[in-house]
Structure 1
Amino acid sequence: MPVRLTLPDTLRDRLDAADRALIGLWASASSPVTAEIVAGSGCDWVLLDAEHSPNGLESVLAQLHAMSAYPVAPLVRVPYGDTVAIKQFLDLGAQNLLVPMVDSAEQAEEIVRAVRYPPRGVRGVGSALARSARWNRVDGYLGRADETVSLTVQIESAAAVAEAERILAVDGVDAVFIGPSDLAASMGLLGQQNHPDVVDAVLRTIERAVAAGVPAGVNAFVPEDADRYIAAGASFVAVGADVAILARQTEALVARFAAGDGRSDGDVQTPPRASY
């Protein structure tokens, strides 16, 4: 008798059921070993990044395999909102997609169509060949594929902030995720994620999302920023990345032993924290 399988809950399902902000970490090293270590940390969700990291289909698939034994929601950020790329990541079993650089409601609508099968969308049908349906071992996959996929679009420009209410109203957008770094750059404040104008834009977007009943997430690698945005109503927050944690902690460890300037142990300072 064939094995019949069910799929894990989506990030949308987990956000709906949560009574607190869900805490996430980035896995940017493109390593199944690192992804598994991150997944076992106790966090709620893990971002696998294919936009700014050396990740492709094969490496994301290997990391999804490595993380599948842990009770986390993998969120895969595709390189861009391309219909073909979205189809490929969905077919390899990514249930939770994050699409970067969404500046308008019209763009969000096209992305929604890319994650849905006809007649509601344009996703190519290859479930019998794909991990998404576990090679047709998930009963009725085609008829309820929308239930197995969650879509988050990224608001990370001044134009997107201005368009936020319309983006939030798009049917099929399950959540939005705010990127302060690109937002700051679009506002002429490159590298100034904590500038008051940037913080205000993030807070205004979270406020609009709360009013619309749509979960809003945000990158906040500095703890005080994370606290501020959670207090404002953010539903999910990324608080660190594997590569950044490795970089900062190895620097601090070497500094502890290699300062060589006569300072006592207590005088060695941890390198400054950075926000993304």
Structure 2
Amino acid sequence: MSTSTSEAFAEKLKKRKTDGMISAWIGIPDPLLANFFAQEPFDAVVIDLQHGMWDIASAATAIGQVRLAGKPAVARIPVGDFASASRLLDAGASGIIAPMINSASDAEQFVKATKYLPLGERSWGPALALNYNGLSPDAYLKSANQLTVTIAMVETRAALEAIDEILAVDGIDGIFIGPSDLSIALSDGAALAPNSAEIDRVMAQALERCQHHGKFICAFGSDGVRAGQLLKLGFHFVIAGGDSAQLRAGARAAITTARETAAGGSTKQA
């Protein structure tokens, strides 16, 4: 991935100069799968280390596959694993998504790991990132905070109550709504309803707060229809379903088509 592509990705999100990006979401820990998804017209590829089965080594390889395909790679870290955030940026990730950011204090700790001084305390060691960007060490140090995005997940009651404080933290570039966990939180564990009217209402309120703070907003959509609804609402970066769901949906569609075609009559020549 060229420096210009990396700059364009971060700039579009930070300045909200986009009609909406659609990203792949990969949990199956195979870098070659990330390569295949990167060949499709996604705007980015997210490597999910929270619920996916990735380790740092395989995730770093996947980031390389995505970036060499000319796409930005974003990584979601496990809860509170800010040390991995730094390592994944060193591996060439263009952004980090952190789950369960519930307070300004959480957000500040996240920024410390993902931004160099004066915003944070990220330690130096971006060997792979330098390879992909083609920048000198000095140039990377001066531009890395602008070339990467730090995205806090809002998915609990506490995070909703603290959303203004989270968005006000310097170095938090945007937020990511996790509708499944948010629906569980808002129902006190009674329901998994990520596409409910209540979640739509909360998302609209979160979008308004992001607009107020000049930050971008992202969310997970369970499929293409839901992703389109979120884009129509004004979200800047959305997921159109995860890898396993998309693979299974594609398999079911192919099987159904084959059965329907066969039932329609033989196409064999006499």
Count of residues paired in the alignment: 256
Mapped partners of 1:53, 1:38: distance in 2: 16
Q: Measure, in 1, the Cα distance between the counterparts of 2:119 and 2:220.
A: 31
The equivalent of 2:195 in structure 1 is 194
For the aligned residue pairs, the C-alpha RMSD in angstroms reads 2.6
4+ residue runs of structure 1 moved beyond 4 angstroms?
Answer: 5-8, 255-259
The aligned residue for residue 114 of structure 2 is 115
Tell me the equivalent position of 1:236. Answer: 237
- 8 Å contact from structure 1 (residues 86, 115) kept in 2: yes
Q: Pairwise mapping of residues 200-219 of structure 1 onto structure 2 (< 5 A)? A: 200-219=201-220
Aligned partner of 2:34: which letter?
Answer: A
Q: Which moved more, 1:184-193 or 1:249-258?
A: 249-258
The 5-angstrom pairing of residues 81-92 of structure 1 reads 81-92=80-91
What is aligned with 1:14?
12
- Alpha-carbon contact 2:45-2:74 (below 8 Å) kept: yes
- Counterpart of 2:161, as a letter, is A
1:132 aligns with 2:129: yes
Helix, strand or coil: the match of 2:109?
helix
Q: Is the 8 A contact 2:119 2:171 kept in 1?
A: no
Aligned counterpart, 1:52: 51
Q: In 2, are the aligned partners of 1:49 and 1:55 still within 8 Å (CA)?
A: yes
Residues 1:30 and 1:135: Cα distance change in structure 2 (over 3 Å) = closer
- Structure with higher helix content: 2
**3-state SS, counterpart of residue 52 of structure 2:** coil
CA distance in 1, matches of 2:204, 2:229: 9
Distance 1:256 1:85, change over 3 A: same
Pick which of 243-252 and 168-177 moved more.
243-252
Question: Measured at CA, do residues 164 and 119 of structure 1 come closer, stay the same or move farther in structure 2, by a change above 3 Å?
Answer: closer
Q: 1:24 offset after TM fit, Å?
A: 1.4
Shift of 1:8: 4.3
**Aligned counterpart, 1:176:** 175
Tell me by how many angstroms 1:225 deviates.
Answer: 2.8
Aligned partners of 2:204 and 2:218: how far apart in 1? 11
Change (3 A) 1:152 1:247: same
- In structure 1, the partner of 2:267 is none
Q: Displacement, 1:95?
A: 2.5
Letter in 2 for 1:20: D
Inter-partner Cα distance in structure 2 for 1:53 and 1:47? 11
CA contact (8 A) 2:56 2:84 kept: no
Q: Is the 8 A contact 2:90 2:129 kept in 1?
A: yes
Query: 3-state SS of the aligned residue for 1:228?
Result: helix
Q: Secondary structure at the match of 2:70?
A: coil
Deviates more, 1:35-44 or 1:145-154: 145-154
Distance between the aligned counterparts of 1:181 and 1:115, measured in 2? Answer: 26
Instruction: Check whether the contact 1:48–1:74 (CA below 8 A) recurs between aligned residues.
Output: yes
Match of 2:268 in 1: none
Task: Determine the C-alpha separation between the residues in 1 that align with 2:68 and 2:243.
Answer: 19
Give the structure 2 partner of residue 163 of structure 1: 162
> Is 1:147 matched with 2:152?
no
**1:80–1:100 contact (8 Å) kept in structure 2:** yes
CA distances 1:68-125 after superposition (whole Å, capped 9, x unpaired)? 2333221111113333222221222222111111111121011111112345433222
Q: Deviations over 1:120-167 (max 9, x none)?
A: 43322234xx21333996221234332232111111112212211221
What amino acid is the match of 1:107? D
One-letter code of the match for 1:12?
A
For 2:41 and 2:237, the matched residues in 1 are separated by 14
Q: AA paired with 1:210? A: Q
Determine the structure 2 residue equivalent to 1:66: 65
Instruction: For 1:137 and 1:70, locate their aligned partners in 2 and report how far apart those are by CA, in whole Å.
Output: 15
Q: CA deviation at 1:232?
A: 2.2
Q: Which amino acid aligns with 2:108?
A: E
Runs of 5+ in structure 1 lacking a partner?
Answer: 266-276
TM-score by length of 1: 0.82
How far off is 1:7 after superposition? 7.0
Question: Shift of the alpha carbon at 1:223?
Answer: 3.7
Return closer, same or farther for 1:27/1:136 CA change in 2, 3 Å cut-off: closer
Query: Residue by residue, what CA displacement relative to the aligned partner does 1:33-58 show, whole Å, maximum 9, x if unpaired?
Result: 21111111111111111110011111
The alpha-carbon deviation at position 19 of structure 1 amounts to 3.5
